[in-house]
Structure 1
Amino acid sequence: MDCENGADTSTRKRKLCRLVVLSFALLCILQATLNISLRLAFYSSDTTTTPDCEAIIKNLTKQQDMRMNELACYIQQGWIYFNHSLYYVSSNKNTWNDSREDCLQRGADLVIINSREEQNFIREFKKRTWIGLTDAEKEQTWKWVDGTTLTISFWDTDEPNGAGGDEDCGEIYFPETENSWNDESCDTKNVWICEKKNVEII
């Protein structure tokens, strides 16, 4: 009796194993058939758009290559990429107006700081630098070089104060602290930072 039960169990296990393998094989065949059918349906539904899609993909690849080459060129010239902008730190010092003119000739402008992350990034240069901030148009109404008013600021304690008289230009004076801005005479000679905004690399 024991021998018969053992043989019966072994036969059942073999049948179950065959059933599992057969089910798996059928599922694989069904999956392959479905994939082929969907691909045929996709390509046959509108064959006229396929060349256009390929052209768009090739064009995108060319644009990406051009952007990467352009970015590499800027980096070779000393620009630094950060958060969709390129930054250039001068190696010499100049007045605020002459510094801005240099940036404009480079296709950029003096840096506009719009966030704490950008402020901390600029501070990493550890230099006293001109930024694109001025109240030359109206005293104590500070504006960026693009004409926008100041919304977030990092003035040092008791700044801006005009302590030296006619101090219409903004600078980073204390790069070791987050609140590092100071108002200074625009004729003071400082290092400056240019920013080229909205640089996409992909």
Structure 2
Amino acid sequence: MDMQKIGVLGSFAAGIGLALAPLAAADDSTGFDFSAVLASEIQSMNFLFESQAALAGVADKVIDASAGQPFLTIDKDDVNATLGTLLYGLNWENEISSDPGAYSLLNGALTEFVDGNNVLLFAILNGGDQIDFENAADYLFGTDAAIAAGLAGDSAWEDAALFFQAGLADIGGYLAIDL
């Protein structure tokens, strides 16, 4: 092997070493911070909700998020047929909740799917551990009843499946069919 090839290989090895050095030196004892994940998910759902409200012509009725309620909401009386159909589906008048908001997208299915994904992410990052109900607010954002039902499995994988099944049931409600 001539000197040029050795020099090129050495440069690649040094480059890889420099690129991976921060990973080797990273302190992962603090664990993964889910707050940015939750904030991003909520922001995405708020954007979708706000877009649907604008399409329905009721964007001016949307109630802004607050520290206590990070999701955009709308008063039930301000939901017209267009927004109701976009949020809750074909039989929206039967499916509408008392407090419609960004968490109601696809009749609530999107919230269930996101919570299921967060359960899987938590399990992958924590050696397969389950989320404790007491700490669920750090990782999930569904209702207490939905979270309790979703975390009722014997493993994180079963918990995720329960959330996904609930999401599919919500899709069934959205489409006015039994799934």
TM-score by length of 2: 0.30
Larger radius of gyration: 1
Q: Which has the higher helix share?
A: 2
Kindly indicate whether structure 1 or structure 2 has the higher relative contact order, using CA contacts under 8 Å at least 6 residues apart.
1
